[in-house]
Amino acid sequence: MQLILKLFIQVNNMNLIKFIKNKIIAKSFENKVNKLLKVAYSKENSDLLVHNDGSIVRDGNQLFDLKHEFVPGIYLRKMILNQGTSVISAIHKREHVWFLLSGCITVSDKNGTNTFEAPYMGFSESGIQRAIYAHENSIFQNVFQNPFELKNLDELEDYNYSLTKDDYNDFIRNAII
């Protein structure tokens, strides 16, 4: 009995340590992204930098292109990344599936960094924000729910994304389950 209890305490301590480590990594990622965005917003848009002063970017200039498609109940957002392009996403409000249709990208988020080669299918959890680097020309496809059949990009972006952690936390607090 004592051995089982000791093992349980060790497992719980390991889980606690893992939990704390993951929180530190997540906070570190969030801090790095916020610092990077602050610097980016202080710069002028150019051929090498595109931002929308904290709003969703819809025109990637020569760095990336966005395509939007709609089918009943679904919104498809395709990002065509040129080689060497880095993108920081907004915070995703809802779980969704994504596909790497072509190319090779590295994705960093609060859970770590992974490199993916097409074809690849992944799942994005709510609350995730990603930094993506394209090692080569790549096509990244998000597949979002669109239960209200929205076609207005402002409304779709508001439904699917938060631009700040505070906005995301407000969304979670007010979410109807």
| Average of per-residue pLDDT values in the chain | 85
Number of domains in the chain: 1
3-state secondary structure labels for all residues of 41-98:
HCCCCCCCCCCCCCCCCCCECCCEEEEEEEECCEEEEEEEECCCCEEECCEECCCEEE
Tell me whether residue 159 is exposed, middle or buried, using C-beta atoms within 10 angstroms of its C-beta: 0 to 12, 13 to 18, 19 or more.
middle
User: Looking at residue 57, what is its pLDDT?
Assistant: 82
The model's pLDDT over 118-170, given as tens digits with 9 standing for 90+, comes to 999 999 999 999 999 999 999 999 999 999 999 999 999 999 999 999 999 99
For residue 77, report the phi and psi dihedrals to the nearest 5 degrees.
-120, 110
- How many Å apart are CA 101 and CA 4, to the nearest integer? 48
- Residue whose structure tokens are 């907004």: 90
pLDDT at 113 over 60: yes
Task: Among 21-25, 92-96, 123-127, name the one with the lowest average pLDDT.
Answer: 21-25
For residue 156, give both structure tokens.
Answer: 């779709």
User: Looking at residue 9, what is its pLDDT?
Assistant: 45
Chain centre to alpha carbon of residue 136: 19
Cβ neighbours, 10 Å, residue 133: 18
Sheet of 112-117, strand order: 86-88, 131-134, 104-109, 112-117
User: Looking at residue 18, what is its pLDDT?
Assistant: 56
User: Looking at residue 15, what is its pLDDT?
Assistant: 58
Q: How would residue 94 be classed by pLDDT, with cut points 50, 70 and 90?
A: very high
The model's pLDDT over 39-64, given as tens digits with 9 standing for 90+, comes to 777 888 888 777 777 778 888 888 89
| Domain at 32, CATH number | 2.60.120.10
Domain that holds residue 135: 1-177
